[in-house]
Structure 1
Amino acid sequence: MAVIRLDKITGGHLESIRHTAVLKNGHFVQLGALISDETELYSVEVATDAADLKKEFLLHATPEVMADPRFAGLKHFQVEAGDQGRAYHLVKGDVITLTADLIDGTPVVDQFVVPQLNSLKLEASPDGLQGSDETSLVFVVVRKTTLGYDGDDAYQLRVIKS
């Protein structure tokens, strides 16, 4: 399903990205190397160890433009492997809403969600840590809501650490 809403986001700092796998809006990535012969297109990486959790995480949110009407709708949108997407640098105070399938575990209002190792999704966290490790990005869960035509469960999140 993977539907997001950029509620209150500065949006002033964007990056063009390319991944070797499918990207859905609401995935969290880290910038890799500048792609050869490009000036502003970066590969993306996934955090694989505790040291990576200290690096900056960016929110993938590419405008949902779909040429094939059979797949029209936010929940069908994805950026295919090797295609170009867009990622946002987040700052403290930004607010986004993500459908529940983009978060592992069950978020609780006034608790936290954080990036996790070996995944593009966030993870519910009662203490704002990923396991026992601090992360460079922490959201507080503001409220439970719904998103999309089908009214899928979603959570509004506010950046409290970036």
Structure 2
Amino acid sequence: MAIRKDKMQSVVAGNIESVVLAADTQNGQVVTLGSPVVGERELVNGVAPTDVVTQEIVIISSPEIVYEAGKGILDFVNKAGKPARADHFTVGDNVTVTDDVIDGTSVVDKFLIPVNGKTKLAHANDLTGGTRFAAVVIGKGKVYGQPATTFRVVQA
């Protein structure tokens, strides 16, 4: 539902992507970069990973602006077929996401990893099995009053 970029290299260096998603997607979900969007110069399709061992994972992080009357920031969603923002990860990045964009329950000092076919990071006790991306959970808290997890990227 929400993302807070606590310390990300992409905030300073600008290593972000413009992606188009096939389904409505929350900030904090993860995708890989697919094929370029036909007829567009800088848009690529953001797709669920199919090979987490080799594919780079990026995190959806569009500005949370809501224009609909009666809706608040917790109602924000990246609409299918519309451009969204995605950040590349760098080892050492710290990010906080609301727990609704994590499969399972995150635990401090355990890991979050991508799963083939899914756009949510999943809880893992260890890093056996192989993955290009991994993050260690460094804290639990709240963002916009919602339960949240802070993680540090250890493999990108």
TM-score range, shorter chain: over 0.9
In the aligned structure 2, how far is the partner of 1:69 from the partner of 1:107?
34
Q: Deviations over 1:1-30 (max 9, x none)?
A: x12111001112111000111111001000
Superposition pairs for residues 125-140 of structure 1, below 5 Å?
125-129=124-128, 133-140=129-136
RMSD (CA atoms): 1.2
Choose from 20, 35, 52 the match for 1:18: 20
Q: How many residues align?
A: 153
In the aligned structure 1, how far is the partner of 2:119 from the partner of 2:70?
27
**Do residues 6 (structure 1) and 8 (structure 2) align?**
no
Normalised TM-score (structure 1): 0.90
Amino acid corresponding to residue 18 of structure 2 in structure 1: S
Contact 1:17/1:44 (8 A) holds in 2: yes
* Aligned residue in 2 for 1:155: 149
**Do residues 120 (structure 1) and 119 (structure 2) align?**
yes
Amino acid corresponding to residue 101 of structure 1 in structure 2: D
SS of 1:101's partner is helix
Normalised TM-score (structure 2): 0.93
TM-fit CA distance, 1:119 = 1.2
List gaps (5 residues or longer) in structure 2: none
In the aligned structure 2, how far is the partner of 1:24 from the partner of 1:100?
11
Deviates more, 1:97-106 or 1:56-65: 97-106
In the aligned structure 1, how far is the partner of 2:5 from the partner of 2:69?
24
SS of 1:54's partner is coil
Amino acid corresponding to residue 56 of structure 1 in structure 2: E
* Aligned residue in 1 for 2:72: 72
Q: Percent identity?
A: 33
TM-fit CA distance, 1:52 = 4.2
* Aligned residue in 1 for 2:48: 46
SS of 2:85's partner is strand
Give the ranges of 4+ consecutive aligned residues of structure 1 lying more than 3 Å apart after TM superposition: none
TM-fit CA distance, 1:40 = 0.5
